[in-house]
A and B are shown apart, each in its own frame.
Chain A
Amino acid sequence: MKNRLKVLRAERDWSQADLADRLEVSRQTINAIETGKYDPSLPLAFKIGRLFGLPIETIFDDAQA
């Protein structure tokens, strides 16, 4: 699944580790999501949406799924 996590993170000048701390996951998890190697669970996707103040569907795109 494609996502805009890297762009949203860069807009806030956060590192992967910064975002990982805010979401209470490991830095590897952020990297895996950004590179499309892992699709987050629904609770984590909601958490990401709340953190960026955006609806989930504007962050994640399942068109390629």
Chain B
Amino acid sequence: MTTAASHPGRGARRLILAGLGLIFGGGLGFAVGRLIKSGVLNADGLGWSDLAAAAIAACLLAIGLIIGLASFSRKATGRMIDASEARPATAGQQSFYRQQAIVLALAGVMMAAPVAAVALLGEIPETMGIIVMLGIVAVFLVQTACNLTVWRRGDELMRQIISETGAVCFWVLQGLLFLWAAAEKLGLAPALSAWDIMTILMGFYLVISSLMSIRRGMA
């Protein structure tokens, strides 16, 4: 029988997740700090958008890893779907969650790759740049295929959330981009690089996506 006493409540689950986040974040921060100190990573050449992109990439990888690992257990996947009922997930639901984990993790890899290349190599030789870029394109194609499959396999609520997120992001960011571009043209704002804009877009997309999910009762 499923009772409130036999399973941790919502608050307890959030505390556990926050604890796991602290452990993962602390561990990652410590490892990166050690690599910078030892000279393996060079953070001097990194701008604000590189650091923000690295943070977003770490979040995407962590979430992808957690969902991916949980998706191998029918019980854990069932808990992700409905913590109150804790009914074991079907094989189809497991593979659906695994696919979403892959999408998130690959997005993290793509965002991290250019920053990691700059941090590791500093001045990147053209051949190495081409090799990294080809790798990114390959990951991008796989991730796009997975993304399309997730869209196809998702139900109408999920598609609604994805569509609304896309619409809000376009509506807000195209307006902001226009205003920034106008200010930049008039010499009132500094120029942004494509990487700066991509990082802002990705961060904004993740925030809006979370808000839309909460609004529809998904989180």
Decide: A28 near B157, CB < 8 A? Known: A37-B217, A38-B217.
yes
Picked from B85, B87, B157, B215, the residue with its CB within 8 Å of the CB of A29 is B157
Decide: A32 near B81, CB < 8 A? Known: A25-B156, A26-B157, A44-B156.
no
Q: Is B158 in the interface zone, CB < 8 Å from A? A: yes
Decide: A16 near B82, CB < 8 A? Known: A28-B218, A32-B216, A38-B216.
yes
What number of A residues sit within 8 Å (CB to CB) of B? 17
Among B77-127, those with CB < 8 Å from A are 81-82, 85, 87
- A37 near B87 (CB under 8 angstroms)? no
Q: How many B residues touch the partner, as a band?
A: 10 to 19
CB-based nearest B residue for A28 = B218
Decide: A27 near B82, CB < 8 A? Known: A37-B215, A37-B216, A38-B160.
yes
- B158 near A26 (CB under 8 angstroms)? yes
Q: Is B44 in the interface zone, CB < 8 Å from A? A: no
Q: Which residues of B contact A32 (CB under 8 A)?
A: 157, 216-218
Task: Name the distance in Å between A15's Cβ and chain B's nearest Cβ.
Answer: 6
**B150-180 vs A, Cβ < 8 Å mask (1 yes, 0 no):** 0000011110100000000000000000000
**B126-146 vs A, Cβ < 8 Å mask (1 yes, 0 no):** 000000000000000000000
- B157 near A25 (CB under 8 angstroms)? yes
Q: Is A49 in the interface zone, CB < 8 Å from B? A: no
Q: Which residues of A contact B87 (CB under 8 A)?
A: 17
- B156 near A41 (CB under 8 angstroms)? yes
Q: Which residues of B contact A16 (CB under 8 A)?
A: 82, 85
Q: Which residues of B contact A28 (CB under 8 A)?
A: 81, 157, 216-218
Task: Name the distance in Å between A4's Cβ and chain B's nearest Cβ.
Answer: 18
Seen from chain A, the residues whose Cβ lies within 8 Å of a Cβ on chain B are 15-17, 24-29, 31-32, 35, 37-38, 40-41, 44
Q: A25-B155, A32-B218 are known contacts; what are 18 more A-B pairs with Cβ within 8 Å?
A: A16-B82, A17-B81, A17-B85, A25-B157, A26-B157, A26-B158, A27-B81, A27-B85, A28-B157, A28-B217, A29-B155, A29-B156, A29-B158, A32-B216, A38-B157, A38-B216, A40-B156, A41-B156
Q: List 30 A-B contacts (CB under 8 A).
A: A15-B85, A16-B82, A16-B85, A17-B81, A17-B82, A17-B87, A24-B155, A25-B155, A25-B156, A26-B81, A26-B155, A26-B157, A26-B158, A27-B81, A28-B216, A28-B218, A29-B156, A29-B157, A29-B158, A31-B217, A32-B217, A32-B218, A37-B215, A37-B217, A38-B157, A38-B160, A38-B216, A38-B217, A40-B156, A41-B156
Seen from chain B, the residues whose Cβ lies within 8 Å of a Cβ on chain A are 81-82, 85, 87, 155-158, 160, 215-218
